[in-house]
Chains A and B, each alone.
Chain A
Amino acid sequence: MRISAPARAEEPLHIVIDQGKVEPLPIALPGFIGKSQAERDTGTNIAKVISDDLERSGLFRALDPRSFIERSMDFDTLPRFNDWRIINTEALVTGQAVIQDDGRLRVEFRLWDVVRNQQLRGKKYYTTPENWRRIAHLVSDEIYTRLTGETGYFDTRVVFVQESGSKIARRKRLAIMDQDGANVSFLTDGFDMALTPRFSPTAQEVTYLSYFNNKPRVYLLNIESGQQEVVGDFPGMTFAPRFSPDGGKIIMSLDTRGNSDIYVMDLRNRRQTRLTEHPAIDTAPSYAPDSRAISFESDRSGRQQLYVMRSDGTDIRRISWGEGRYATPVWSPRGDLIAFTKMLRGRFYIGVMRPDGDPKTERLLTESFLDEGPTWAPNGRVLMFFRQTPNRRDGSGGTVRLWSVDLTGYNLREVPTLGDASDPAWSPLIK
């Protein structure tokens, strides 16, 4: 609310704007054009996926195509900006899909600022026709980045646990999908219980907990080859694995005779190093993006709380000081925040706080009967987690699903899955 009236006539009037509108940016996405029916279909599908991506981010509002005035558009012609401004859009995306003589699909798009009458972005992509969805996500990323400044996260995947069967004999298998819920495929057959998958920084591998042979151990799975191996040679249960930011190490908990401590295993030389040594439960480790620090949870104070230590295990500091129990700290890829699960008076919350543990920085984003296990989109702007609803007395009624929420706490949405799903882990940006 600062206002500075001019003191002297020579100086121009100066005003400060520190309040704005927090509403999604209106954007128009006519179907990408094409000459043949196949091209037009692909173009329509691409525009729909982009529109859904942007809407789901909560930062954009895709306008109803029925309101569009300019209809027949040529990709290489300037849009009639007035026709778009008059329907109150601020951005316009035009595009075309071409199936070339060599059989490849070419997709081109232009992003227009219709307020200032200029092209902001233009790109073309070549791929195989069945890969149109990926191109749509790449275009969404471009639009999102150009208009918000944030790195896009639409061309990413999510690995998660697909749940099926009765609540007592639950079948849990690893699955992978695009971040919008499309293209689901299974990574394990579900015969052995699989839990807590996490991506490697290249998104080529997943580390997770498998009950193969009824021995809970951390495994490393190559997504493309399907090959996997047990990580390390530990005497007891290993669990809660997570990759180091460079992908060279896996950090996890090892249980020996009822005591869980944190270990790190170097994947190159197979060396195992113990990082914590305390009779309390130490688990859910997560590296800072610069690899210098590790966050984890421990009940060494008497109940679950969050801690940060140097990556060699020294200088352990508690960072959670609020009421209740805190769990599953996950460092943001941006490094500025740690997301966590909080339990207080029978309710579960997803929240974020700064790694320095300043209690004033704690913000709770969601609340329900059971919200658990946040994972960050690679731009550090969106969180995904799973939400379980209570079962009735006979075990029916309860569901467990994936949800996403913006860092600001807005835009809470269910991520579409086929049936029950839990333990989501967002992939890094796919290179």
Chain B
Amino acid sequence: MRFGFFLSVLAHVAIVMAAVVTLPSMFDGAEEFQMLPVEILEIGSETNVRAAALKIAEAPEPEPVKEEEPKFAEAPPPPPPPAMNEPVADDAMPALAKASDPKPKPKKAEKTSVKNTMPRRKPKPPAPQSKDELDLGELQALLDKAPKDEPKPQPQQSDDALDSLDDFLAEDQADLPRRAIGLGDGLTISEVDALRQEMQKCWRPPTGAANPEELIVELRIFLKEDGSLVRAPRIERSGTSTFGKNSFTMAAEEAARRAVVMCAPYDFLPADKYERWKEVTVTFDPASMVGY
């Protein structure tokens, strides 16, 4: 007991001493804090990549690289010059400085990329354009258990839309026979609605953006008779921002294009009205999807 008491006293003294000793050194208790530098280089786009063991058919359709483009793309720009895709290599680059550098330096890249471990390749000749999309279409068809030639059931939504559009229909009925058959005839509201429903299932709109109204994207899509895409959707209109293209508009464009591609084929559209839907413009408007 006595020994324990002695120990206890000793411990108390030690702690009090520790407390007193730490007093004057209040501010030097901080642990070493160091920021470590990181160097960053751009890696070129797909032109750098060996398409080893891949059929030519699977080569990606060269999408326009829009990253560094200063202006809106009114129509799909031509495939970029190879330099655009080259690594922006600058070996003595200071830490992180390059990360935010938006300007590609094609010439420098040409030189320095020689020591790049990745073999440089010329851009592949554009693969037969529709082939890839065809593959995708087939894949979608495989995944899709719905019978090919029947419209997918969209009963509730379509009916709702129809109800709410009774007036519209009543007005139009005189000169637009709804279920008429034949070339040149319009699609019924429910057919249009089915297409809309399908696309919005695939669209992941940009949410939380500061100015969603600037992220409206309009695409033109070209469809084959089986409902698959003839080629990649074309951007008709993108962004109303006066500041030009930025990361937000770019992400919005890609989200829209992904939605269209992902949802293909649109095999529920009535084959007899193909002329009416072989070309469709789609406006993706995220304004009502944002928290505000």
A adjacent to B, CB under 8 Å: yes
| Closest CB in chain B relative to A16 CB, distance in Å | 5
- Tell yes or no: B81 within 8 A of A by CB: no
Q: Are A119 and B280 within 8 A (Cβ)?
A: no
A1 to B189, CA, bound (A): 12
A-side contacts of B258, CB under 8 Å: 90, 113, 115-116
| Closest CB in chain A relative to B77 CB, distance in Å | 14
B-side contacts of A361, CB under 8 Å: 292
- Tell yes or no: A78 within 8 A of B by CB: yes
B-side contacts of A381, CB under 8 Å: 208
Q: Are A17 and B196 within 8 A (Cβ)?
A: yes
| Closest CB in chain A relative to B161 CB, distance in Å | 7
Least CB separation from A24: chain B residue: B204
Q: Are A78 and B279 within 8 A (Cβ)?
A: no
A336 to B96, CA, bound (A): 28
Q: Are B61 and A117 within 8 A (Cβ)?
A: yes
Q: Are A122 and B285 within 8 A (Cβ)?
A: no
- Tell yes or no: B164 within 8 A of A by CB: yes
Q: Are A149 and B206 within 8 A (Cβ)?
A: yes
A159 to B270, CA, bound (A): 60
Evaluate whether A15 and B29 lie within 8 angstroms (CB atoms) in the complex, with A82-B135, A149-B251 already known: no
**What per-residue 1/0 map shows which CB atoms of A401-415 lie under 8 Å from chain B?**
000001111000000
Q: Interface residue count for A (Cβ, 8 Å)?
A: 84
Q: Report A's interface with B, CB cutoff 8 A.
A: 1, 3, 5-6, 9, 12-23, 25, 74, 76-78, 80-82, 85-86, 90, 108-110, 113, 115-120, 122-128, 130-131, 134-135, 138, 145-151, 176, 185-192, 212, 223-224, 226-228, 334, 336, 361, 363, 380-381, 406-409, 430-431
Evaluate whether A23 and B132 lie within 8 angstroms (CB atoms) in the complex, with A149-B249, A187-B30 already known: no
Q: Are A16 and B285 within 8 A (Cβ)?
A: yes
**What per-residue 1/0 map shows which CB atoms of B235-270 lie under 8 Å from chain A?**
000000000001111111010011101100000000
A117 to B279, CA, bound (A): 23
A192 to B43, CA, bound (A): 49
Q: Are B38 and A9 within 8 A (Cβ)?
A: no
Interface residues on B, range: 35 or more
A118 to B290, CA, bound (A): 28
| Closest CB in chain A relative to B79 CB, distance in Å | 11
A-side contacts of B117, CB under 8 Å: 76
B246 contact from A110, A149, A226, Cβ within 8 A: A149
| Closest CB in chain A relative to B230 CB, distance in Å | 13
Q: Are B43 and A122 within 8 A (Cβ)?
A: yes
What are 30 contact pairs spanning A and B, CB under 8 A? Answer: A3-B192, A3-B196, A13-B192, A15-B282, A17-B200, A17-B284, A19-B200, A20-B284, A22-B205, A23-B204, A76-B48, A77-B52, A78-B51, A78-B59, A80-B58, A82-B139, A117-B58, A118-B45, A125-B38, A130-B36, A131-B38, A138-B99, A145-B247, A147-B254, A149-B250, A185-B30, A189-B26, A189-B27, A226-B33, A430-B35
B118 contact from A6, A76, A131, Cβ within 8 A: A76
A115 to B264, CA, bound (A): 11
A-side contacts of B161, CB under 8 Å: 1, 3
Q: Are A408 and B139 within 8 A (Cβ)?
A: no
A72 to B39, CA, bound (A): 28
A185 contact from B33, B49, B204, Cβ within 8 A: B33
| Closest CB in chain A relative to B118 CB, distance in Å | 5
Least CB separation from B291: chain A residue: A408
**What per-residue 1/0 map shows which CB atoms of B87-117 lie under 8 Å from chain A?**
1000000001001000000000000000001
Q: Are B193 and A78 within 8 A (Cβ)?
A: no
| Closest CB in chain B relative to A89 CB, distance in Å | 11
| Closest CB in chain B relative to A200 CB, distance in Å | 14
Q: Are A128 and B36 within 8 A (Cβ)?
A: yes
Question: Max chain A CB contacts within 10 Å: which of B28, B199, B208, B247?
Answer: B208
Q: Are A17 and B42 within 8 A (Cβ)?
A: no
Q: Are B60 and A126 within 8 A (Cβ)?
A: no
Known pairs A116-B261, A191-B22 / 8 extra A-B pairs, C-beta < 8 Å:
A12-B220, A15-B192, A15-B282, A78-B50, A82-B135, A119-B49, A189-B28, A408-B290
- Tell yes or no: B41 within 8 A of A by CB: yes
Instruction: Give B42-85 interface residues, CB cut-off 8 Å to A.
Output: 42-46, 48-54, 58-61, 63
A-side contacts of B291, CB under 8 Å: 363, 407-409
